[in-house]
Amino acid sequence: MEWRDQGIVLSVRRHGETSAIIEVFTPAHGRHAGVVRGGASRRMTPVLQPGAQLDLTWRARLEDHIGAFRVEPLRSRAAGLLGDRLALAGLNAVTSLLLFMLPEREAHRRLYDRSEVLLDLMGDGEVWPLAYLQWELALLEEMGFGLDLSACAVMGTAVNDLSYVSPRTGRAVSRAGAGDWADRLLPLPACLMGHGPAPDQEVAQGLRTTGHFLRAHLAPALGNHPLPEARTRFVEEFQKRLTA
């Protein structure tokens, strides 16, 4: 068995004296693991970093074997973000959530494309936090837990004052429809619907909302394991930016 593809490195762990096992996210073969011979060497360690873009050739005797990768570096992303704590935290959140959420060997091409674009944007502090928020929305959608922000769940119509999200159903709620229940609902900032300039405070509100559905809806469907700590660390770093 053999295939060739590109992929984003999600995780790396040492295997034996000189090799490494990597997990990558590829457009055609989804989340896939394999052994890299010599992957623990001084030459290969900088190449095999989470977020790196690789050209991959995978070989195995049988399809269900872990197999071995031959890799060629295309882009090293983490090295360019070493001076940016927030961007590094964002990169780690993306790779950790993909590793946590994605089933093995199942293609998710649209999510792959969005993930690649987002990782390439990191380093542009004015753009990528909003792109990250939109990526989490896309992740929920891809995993079958997308939010419905098209109309008020209470009034049943598309109105202009959509301001909340039901934490139970993921549907939008207007101010008029929320009434006395507003304090029990999640915020729906304009940037979550793709409107407006998306100041950091709005992005933070959006992360609170997407975080609820990742934690309370998607994670339980995957065995009720807690979300990766990397996502929490990213949100904490982003909160520091709000108070800087």
What's the Cα-to-Cα distance from 131 to each of 35, 119, 136, 160, rounded to whole Å? 32, 10, 9, 24
Answer whether residue 71 is part of any domain. yes
**Residue 134: its pLDDT value, please?**
97
Answer whether residue 159 is part of any domain. no
53-77: average pLDDT = 93
Q: Which of 15, 49, 76 is the last residue of a domain?
A: 76
**Residue 161: its pLDDT value, please?**
87
Q: 147: which residues sit within 8 A by CB, 6+ positions away? A: 137, 140, 141, 165, 170, 171, 172, 209, 213
**Residue 226: its pLDDT value, please?**
92
**101-125: string of b/e by CB count within 10 Å (b at 16+)?**
bbeeeebbeebbebbbebbebbbee
Say if residue 68 is in the same domain as residue 105: no
Location of structure tokens 């990742």 = 214
Sheet holding 172-174, edge to edge: 172-174, 162-165, 186-187
**pLDDT by residue (tens digit) across 101-110?**
999 999 999 9
**pLDDT by residue (tens digit) across 162-208?**
999 999 999 999 999 999 999 999 999 999 998 888 999 999 999 99
Q: Tokens in use for 125?
A: 């502090």
**Residue 80: its pLDDT value, please?**
83
Domain that holds residue 115: 80-149+188-243
**pLDDT by residue (tens digit) across 80-93?**
888 899 999 999 99
By the 8 A CB rule, do 22 and 50 touch?
Answer: no
Q: Is the dihedral of CA 184, 154, 204, 223 positive or negative?
A: positive
Q: Which of 28, 61, 76 is the last residue of a domain?
A: 76
The pLDDT of residue 159 is above 80: no
Say if residue 130 is in the same domain as residue 199: yes
State whether residue 149 is helix, strand or coil: coil
Q: φ and ψ at 31, to 5 degrees? A: -80, 120
Number of domains in the chain: 2
Q: Is the dihedral of CA 154, 140, 76, 2 positive or negative?
A: negative
Is the backbone of residue 33 left (phi > 0), alpha (psi -120 to 50) or beta?
A: beta
Say how far apart CA 188 and CA 160 lie, in whole Å: 12
Answer whether residue 172 is part of any domain. no
**Residue 144: its pLDDT value, please?**
96
Say if residue 230 is in the same domain as residue 217: yes
Which residue type occupies 90?
A: G
Which residue type occupies 80?
A: G
Q: How confident is the model at residue 65 (pLDDT cuts 50, 70, 90)?
A: confident
**Residue 78: its pLDDT value, please?**
87
For all residues of the chain together, what is the average pLDDT?
94
Residue 97, Cβ neighbours under 10 Å: how many?
22
Q: Which of 14, 47, 76 is the last residue of a domain?
A: 76
